[in-house]
């Protein structure tokens, strides 16, 4: 069994490959949407999670791992936002479109940033929810183990640098996400 962080990092790298195909100018449009969405999700988190927890049946809440509602909130919303950002009308950043190796290089870097924002968010909340108590087979022993019980030290050191961990680190960082998203949005609008 490979460490779970290898899976997450592979998914982030896959977004880099998507960025290579799309190009940096389209990836920065998605980055704009993701930064603004993460800011809005973080600011509305307490209000929405409180409303959800009061409306869900108590027996359903008792069966969920700690942090599962927050994980579902972020994962479903980010999946929806990601689908719309990639499949809807693309915001195109007003930079000269590169070709060849430069398109691949800059597109890969833009895709990795988007992968970090998308997959990193899912990784962070899944880790906080102890991976929902999911069990996987342990090699050929026939035994199953909980993913959350076998996390490496490397996993623990990386998770403190994921998007939601950074957004929760202090009160300034959410507004940094907002400022970066607004700067990118203004650059797209005022092209």
pLDDT at position 117 is 97
Question: What is the average pLDDT across 15-29?
Answer: 92
For residue 63, give both structure tokens.
């069966």
Instruction: Count how many domains the chain has.
Output: 1
Q: What is the mean pLDDT of residues 159-174?
A: 93
Q: Report the percent of the chain where pLDDT is more than 90.
A: 54
135-137 and 144-146: which strand pairing? Answer: antiparallel
Would you state the pLDDT for residue 85?
A: 93
pTM over 0.75: yes
Q: CA nearest 121: which of 79, 156, 87, 149?
A: 79
The separation between CA 183 and the C-alpha centre of its own chain, rounded to angstroms, equals: 21
Q: How confident is the model at residue 1 (pLDDT cuts 50, 70, 90)?
A: low
Per-residue model confidence as pLDDT tens digits over 72-120: 999 999 999 999 999 988 777 777 777 888 889 999 999 999 999 999 9
- Cα(122)–Cα(73) distance, rounded to whole angstroms? 10
Mean pLDDT of 167-176: 92
Residue 31: what pLDDT? Answer: 95
Share of the chain above pLDDT 70, in %: 96
Sign of torsion, CA 42 48 50 52?
negative
| Whether the Cβ atoms of residue 36 and residue 178 lie closer than 8 Å to each other | yes
Average pLDDT, the chain: 89
Contact by Cβ (8 Å): 40, 177: no
For residue 74, the enclosing domain spans 4-189
pLDDT reported for residue 61: 65
Quick check: 27 and 107 in contact, CB under 8 A?
A: yes
**Any idea what DSSP says for residue 168?**
H
| Token representation of residue 71 | 């994980």
Find all residues with CB under 8 Å of 143, minimum gap 6, and list them.
Answer: 137
Residue 51's pLDDT is 83
């Amino acid at each position: 069994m490979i460490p779970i962080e290898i899976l997450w990092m592979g998914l982030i790298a896959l977004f880099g490959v998507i960025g290579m195909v799309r190009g940096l100018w389209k990836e920065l449009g998605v980055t704009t949407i993701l930064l603004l969405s993460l800011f809005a999700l973080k600011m509305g988190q307490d209000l929405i999670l409180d409303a959800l927890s009061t409306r869900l049946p108590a027996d359903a809440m008792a069966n969920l791992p700690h942090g599962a509602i927050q994980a579902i909130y972020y994962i479903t919303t980010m999946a929806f936002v990601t689908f719309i950002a990639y499949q809807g009308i693309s915001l195109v950043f007003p930079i000269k479109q590169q070709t060849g190796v430069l398109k691949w290089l800059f597109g890969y870097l833009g895709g990795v940033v988007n992968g970090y924002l998308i997959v990193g968010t899912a990784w962070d909340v899944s880790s906080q929810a102890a991976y929902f108590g999911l069990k996987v087979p342990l090699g050929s022993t026939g035994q199953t183990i909980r993913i959350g019980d076998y996390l490496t030290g490397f996993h623990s050191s990386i998770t403190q640098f994921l998007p939601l961990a950074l957004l929760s680190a202090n009160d300034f960082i959410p507004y940094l996400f907002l400022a970066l998203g607004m700067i990118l949005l203004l650059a797209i609008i005022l092209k």
